[in-house]
Chains A and B, each alone.
Chain A
């Protein structure tokens, strides 16, 4: 069966894969293509290595120079190098390509010394998703022509708008999200436009941080530019430019020859839900996709995804952008694969218009993070079907919590931290405890938090029993207790407070992550969903828990020794060991072991659970989602789909 690609040309039903293209037909193109054919592998290796190194070095500059903690500690920024036709050559390439620059400026109006910046989502041609992401782009000139652009985006602390931190959770228009800067020349042939900068900075609550961050981006882009020019000197411009295209071709070839053949041909549906859009609080938002796979390509069709929302969970990008985002999750089929724009020739996301993933101006998008994460899980669910259960379980490894107010000296502060969670179990290993999805992102050291904010970090650790039970257990979420020393406002941006990370092939769902104020006291208050502003008083303890990953495979097949160790280490309770895993433990007088497995009781317990339980599901979505499905409030295609049974239980 070959995929019918014609239907995706129908603009009434599908948005274009890429909003705009600049096919090359310039005087150099013929020559570069000829040169590409003559390149030796080692030269391409060296250029590829040097480019990747340039990106790493450039990012290291940002890490040292930036002022905002989201950039500095949490690594929420990416640099890349783009060709003159705006294709990304390097590895961290899912966002902020040079497209909006070409869209707004003719090539002849782009000159050496220009530095472009922008954060305008709807003028970005689908390359950035929310306003705090500022981008800087520098044209790279060699032999008198533009051979590409070095660019970087990063998440700045505050770009104005309705709330501190520019992450409103109930805005209904992008104008509430923050101040928009369309693509402009911040530097025109080396000359800074001070007045434009003043306007931008005037609209931030933390102008010094914003300036520090943007300056850091520019230094990074300049460093990458310098490294690319050094390459042009060492080889010659044509060779370097030809190598860009060869590097992208290699990626496409690896995907076609190594990764895609491992995925069966056919159609596979996957779904997952955003708890709500922040405005219609009772209405889950569905992301639905269908993987279509034939021998030549893989299409991910988002037909069936809910329309754009009133609240700010919209993620208005193009299919090309989404392709690179999801590409990271088939990388496992070709270890070491670097996803650049070459990938998008073999793997394409197609979006119907005006969905939550293809919203139109001026839909708000500040909280599009939830769409980004739920989309991955919808894709995972489809992959679980394609691979007969051999796919990773669900995970939700980014959430964000903030406390803001004034210090006792009257200075405003914003403590904001991105938290990881448990990753999904794999068909061969447990999920990982407390990790972030973004590579190199880091939590904030307590010793940093306490230096900078009126906060005491009383506890940081694992959320016991949060990992979904399974033959392989889901990773554990966080449990963090913080005490505020001043009156202030707490704002949880929490994505799975009711809808658990689903388990796969008999594995159970993980525990959702909720927050409490003053847990264990008579004033205890439980907080589900995201909130812009929860008032807190000096001395309050705020407990944050983040969701555990889904489990994989039948929990009764888990090695009892691993269950024993989890219990001894206090990350799984003795009750869960018995009820979920059917493992009965008894205390022993040995400080090194504490418990031993009672083998006969375990055998009996496992037999009993096995006799009385419902059939294991391929996708176990947890209590709350199942309840809503039963009530008819939401629907999925796989509610009754049974887990695959493998004769040889150890895969």
Chain B
């Protein structure tokens, strides 16, 4: 017996999906997240599998999606760190790129957010490389020692190192790391050339700082998990999802925690895309609403958009990632009043610890979940009774914090909280659609995560989207996504060469190094050669331009890299440049090789989607009761008895009308008035208004 496990830790719940590699059977469960010590809920999840008959010794592989890195950045909870830079560059983070974001004139009102390392923790050291990587001035090792000791005395446990022109020659940075480690052995050190070996000192430094700041928490986190997994008799393989949607091993994440900034959300998108491909609804806007935030991604023809760098909070981070927008609106988002008494929701979240007031774990601020509970939009017990909710506690915090100061009824206040939360989500949907020239009305909304179903119809109403599709296990979509992707190993060597002076032999040996490295990596991970796919690539730019384009290298089986193949690849660079930017400088401008790389993919066998079955023939079979839900229809508001259905007992292809509450183990879906839904033969809830989208999507 061997089980493959996907574990996704969200802010509120930890989702576990187990997949039997031999029989194809599936099991799923949820445990409460423990944000103060996320490894605890991970282990709780593994232990709970035991209760379902899956012994930890039968687990062959664990795939993990984590929001530890994301949350640390969003909440500025990365470790305090020191930064070592080249003499003369102390204020590098202060200068940044001298850029004011936004529109002309915003310089007057813009307030710069705090820097990732405050100026009082930046130190300069003498030593300088030129642009060829040759030493102009030697590294002052004594100065490095002094700084290391000073940081140690200050109690700083993480140090980032970013030296000018190191991308050409990492030796000075490597030496700094050695010395710092000698003086301060317990300190985490990250050098910029390990994070991104590319020119542009500011961007490289910021990514290095974030990487450094994440190292202490990510390392200890990953170590706890691997220690625990090693206690099992089998050698369990352990992988973590990267922002790119590919999995990697724990050592890589310890060194490069920054590649996990979108680990959790990427898993959800992979899953939505895979499910979208298998249904006829291939244009989706995902709405992954968890406890702390909502991630929104546009999927066109079954493919999510990808970026080579992205924005997390105020930081530009250079690491491949799925293109998504995050809005600070989740089930645990806190409702609050400004000094002028205007109602705001988020981005602060109560998470799951203490969580919403209604959870009874000590939450004293009103959250979106409290508002839903007060208005009868969610049942009082969640996760098969594992979590009991307290409506009185919810009423109390909403009354005290919002309703009384604003002179509103508790219902009006709760309704306002939900409306503002919905507007925030709609703005995020705007960002991925309208702002990019895409009409959201041409897309179906695809809610998942624990709270996606609570706001889906509401958000759709705001944007006049006419169709909402709810997957079978909305609360477990990300955990499932972990089981739908492959192991990925990227190896890159930076070697800038101009096409009029190519060193083919050097390129050949570099290609050999990167492909063997990634192949060896995958072999070590247990992939036989027939399950290993190596894709070579080169990054090029026109000489004098600042942006590189990645071009795959087509290498026929058993062929060697030759000058001809490289010339062909340069030709492909011209044509993909033309395709992407509308022009090419073929025969006009010289091309520069920037990076040589290989992506190794270790192919895993996939989860199969089973046909959906339900024994029910009548809708009445699914009716589990009525909730008094606060409904506004035709300008009138009040509590009405609204049917509550058990998701898994709703018969296939029988339409029913909203308002209704559809309850299932892992989430709740609220159908607003004027919406009609049915469950299709694959188990999706297809929920439509006015007959669905015009385009027949």
Contacts and interface: CB of A to CB of B under 8 A. Distances in A.
Interface string B105-129: 1111111100000111000000000
Interface stretch (A125-133, A327-335, A596-604): A327-335
Contact of B107 (A208, A227, A397, A443): A397
B437 A227 contact: yes
A73 interface: yes
Interface in A591-625: 591-592, 594
A329 B544 contact: no
A446 B102 contact: no
A478 B544 CA distance: 26
A646 interface: no
A481 B128 CA distance: 15
A435 B100 contact: yes
Interface string A184-210: 000000000000000000000000100
Contact of A445 (B108, B136, B199): B199
A433 B201 CA distance: 19
Contact of B164 (A234, A424, A436, A447): A447
A458 B104 CA distance: 31
Given A49-B430, A64-B547, A456 B112 contact: no
B434 A448 contact: no
Given A50-B434, A445-B200, A460-B88, A338 B103 contact: yes
A46 interface: yes
Contacts of B99: 435-436, 439-442
B97 A481 contact: no
B437 A478 contact: no
A447 B104 contact: no
B153 interface: yes
Size band of the interface chain B makes with A: 35 or more
A434 B164 contact: no
Interface in B516-562: 544-547
Contacts of A592: 120, 154
A52 B435 contact: yes
Residue with the greatest number of chain B CB neighbours at <10 A, chosen from A64, A436, A447, A568: A447
Contacts, number: 183
A529 interface: no
A420 B89 contact: no
Given A49-B434, A53-B436, A462-B94, A447 B107 contact: no
A434 B97 CA distance: 9
Contacts of B202: 445
Contacts of B105: 327-329, 331-332, 339
Nearest to B112: A432
B95 A443 contact: yes
B164 A446 contact: yes
A216 B542 CA distance: 14
Classify the secondary structure of A's interface with B. mixed
Contacts of A72: 545-546
Contact of B545 (A64, A94, A569): A64
A459 B109 CA distance: 29
Nearest to A594: B120
A72 B430 CA distance: 28
A439 B583 contact: no
Contacts of A407: none
Contacts of B119: 569-571
Interface in B146-165: 150, 153-154, 164-165
Given A50-B437, A478-B95, A395 B107 contact: yes
B92 interface: yes
**Interface size class for chain A?**
35 or more
Contacts of B430: 49
A568 B120 contact: yes
A227 B164 CA distance: 41
A426 interface: yes
Interface string A231-243: 1001000000000
B612 interface: no
A423 B107 CA distance: 7
Contacts of B182: none
Interface string B571-615: 000000000011101000100000000000000000000000000
B98 A64 contact: no
A448 B437 contact: no
A328 B103 contact: yes
A219 interface: yes
A97 to B, nearest CB: 15
A328 B104 contact: yes
A460 B91 contact: yes
Contacts of A568: 120
A223 B130 contact: no
Given A219-B583, A434-B94, A448 B546 contact: yes
A222 interface: yes
A392 B94 CA distance: 21
B101 interface: yes
A350 interface: no
11 contacts: A73-B546, A219-B581, A230-B437, A423-B108, A432-B111, A443-B95, A447-B199, A448-B546, A478-B95, A569-B120, A591-B154
Q: Which 3 A-B pairs have the closest CB atoms?
A: A328-B105, A459-B88, A461-B91
